[in-house]
Structure 1
Amino acid sequence: MEYQAKYITEDIKLSCYQDKFFKSDIMFEHHMLIWFISGETKIVRAEGTYQFQKGDIFLIPRNQLATIINYPKDGLPHKTVVMHLTTEWLRNFYARLNVRPATADTERIRHYANHPLLESCLSSLIPYFEMKNLPKDIAHLKLTEAVTILRSIDADIDNILANFEEPGKIDLADYMERNFMFNLPLEKFGYLTGRSLTTFKRDFKKVFATTPQRWLTKKRLDLAHYQFVEKKKKPIDVCYEVGFENLSHFSFAFKKQFGYAPTALLENG
């Protein structure tokens, strides 16, 4: 995979994928503010699928699961400017402000379309990626500018960015039913449901009467079957959207589960 990344600091990067596509299942440790220069991204979340392309600006909240699929488009690579808004940096930013976050929708991806102020802020970073000697504190100033703009255009943003709570123990069955399609280590599922790995496995067995891996595989294959029959989707798309890492492994597991290959469903349809 031909991937290039240029950094102003570890929190601000210019990301470029030249290949046909790149796919990853991710838990976002930090809030991410992203500006699209070229290409296209499909983000699969529990609540639905988002698609972003050139000119789009969006913020992905931290501690959220997603499948990210990046594509080149119109002969241009997948290219984005990414700001990581870390908890440490945000704590320092909000320390001087009298902000008390209220309950907010902390899971939804926030889309700012082609907002001129945000686009001006993020596009102004481009020249800095080519510089060896950066102006002092430029990264801090640009992060401050971006968050200040967000606060001026999004009335709920403080409730998200100034919320520093970690995941507490939540209903395991409800969470797993909504997020089984994300192919993450069990430790991550444990963290996001407020459990150690040992407690997660113990509670999982009590709730579902089977192991996490067996349950996850069956749920993903059942969803794939539904996508083929009801949505008439292609195997390559379904494979990645339901949590498998490659098409050959997905096809093998599907045939083992149902006794026929995914293509048989499409041919009959």
Structure 2
Amino acid sequence: MDSFVQDHAFTRILSGNMHIHTTGGSYNFSAGDTILIKRNQLSKAFQIPPANGEFKSITVFFDQPSLRDYSMENRIAPIVSYQGEPVLLLRSDLLYDSYASSLAAYQQGETNKGLTGLKVKEALMLILHLDKHASALLFDFHEPEKTDLEKYMNTHFRFNAEIKHFAYLTGRSLATFKRDFAKIFNTSPGSWLQQRRLKEAHYLIKEKRMKVSEVYPEVGFEDLSHFSFAFKKAFGKSPSLL
């Protein structure tokens, strides 16, 4: 699963394991771990079920307006620019255990919006009480700055993000991103991304002898059938025949 992380995410892994690859590093977590994922980044999250079971987790998102309100109410100074890890493993504590258990009822169906808001605030207060260092991540409100587009795309093309998210993360409006992209790559973002991903896939399959089933999600394709069709169209043969 690839995604653009729009809001900070508080996640408790209930069963199974999770491997997260972000623009800032790779991380492995297991059942019982409680983690905090920074907003405004690209990520690949691989969920691994336990033997004879299924992967389960609970996630709470912290939106920016709520965090700004909380910081003002509690006189928490905004962070100029968070420079720490993009994914934090929070401490093991009975309070996190109890909180995760209390959320089970909220997964059964529709819940009162006010009550849901209180549970989100409770999670925030728990983090600030048990993992004070995480406040630097939570209260960094700055937006992405304009960055080297060519370098960014060649580094992060494997993430299956929408074009608008690539634009945002490189500090550009969508229109400016497309204009700058055309000047640098002489093609559209969509065409370039597919060609670049297929080129990388060809290399991984032929030179690194990786399995097709491993390659297509690694280079940013959502499903095997779409990948196989695009690969055959580009190279004249099925990826399994290389």
Q: TM-score range, shorter-chain basis? A: 0.7 to 0.9
Instruction: Say whether 1:94 aligns with 2:71.
Output: yes
Q: CA deviation at 1:63?
A: 1.6
**Quick one: which of 84, 99, 111 aligns to 1:121?**
99
Q: CA deviation at 1:144?
A: 3.4
Q: CA deviation at 1:239?
A: 0.7
Instruction: Say whether 1:242 aligns with 2:219.
Output: yes
Q: Give deviations 1:62-114, integer Å, cap 9, x for gaps.
A: 12112334343322222211111111111121112232414323661112364
Summarize the Cα distance change of 1:175–1:125 in structure 2 as closer, same or farther, 3 Å threshold.
Answer: same
Residue 171 of structure 2 corresponds to 194
Q: Give deviations 1:236-264, integer Å, cap 9, x for gaps.
A: 12111211121122123223334443323
Instruction: Say whether 1:105 aligns with 2:90.
Output: no
Residue 30 of structure 1 corresponds to 7
Q: What does residue range 152-167 of structure 1 map to in structure 2 within 5 Å?
A: 152-167=129-144
- Stretches of structure 1 that go unaligned for 5 or more consecutive residues are 1-22
Summarize the Cα distance change of 1:239–1:48 in structure 2 as closer, same or farther, 3 Å threshold.
Answer: farther
Residue 52 of structure 2 corresponds to 75
Name the amino acid aligned to 1:109: V
C-alpha distance in 1, partners of 2:92/2:208? 31
Q: Is the 8 A contact 2:49 2:55 kept in 1?
A: yes
Q: Is the 8 A contact 1:99 1:158 kept in 2?
A: no
C-alpha distance in 2, partners of 1:186/1:100? 29
Q: Is the 8 A contact 2:16 2:50 kept in 1?
A: yes
C-alpha distance in 2, partners of 1:260/1:47? 35
C-alpha distance in 2, partners of 1:131/1:196? 38
Taking structure 1 as the reference length, the TM-score comes to 0.76
Q: Is the 8 A contact 1:55 1:113 kept in 2?
A: no
Moved over 6 A (4+): 131-134
Instruction: Say whether 1:173 aligns with 2:182.
Output: no
Summarize the Cα distance change of 1:133–1:259 in structure 2 as closer, same or farther, 3 Å threshold.
Answer: closer
Summarize the Cα distance change of 1:108–1:227 in structure 2 as closer, same or farther, 3 Å threshold.
Answer: farther
Q: Give deviations 1:189-235, integer Å, cap 9, x for gaps.
A: 21222222221111001122222122212221232234335654321
Higher-helix-fraction structure: 2
Summarize the Cα distance change of 1:87–1:253 in structure 2 as closer, same or farther, 3 Å threshold.
Answer: same
The count of residues paired between Structure 1 and Structure 2 equals 241
What value does the CA root-mean-square deviation take over the aligned residues? Answer: 2.8
Residue 39 of structure 1 corresponds to 16
Q: CA deviation at 1:155?
A: 4.8
What is the identity percentage for the equivalent residue pairs of Structure 1 and Structure 2? 39
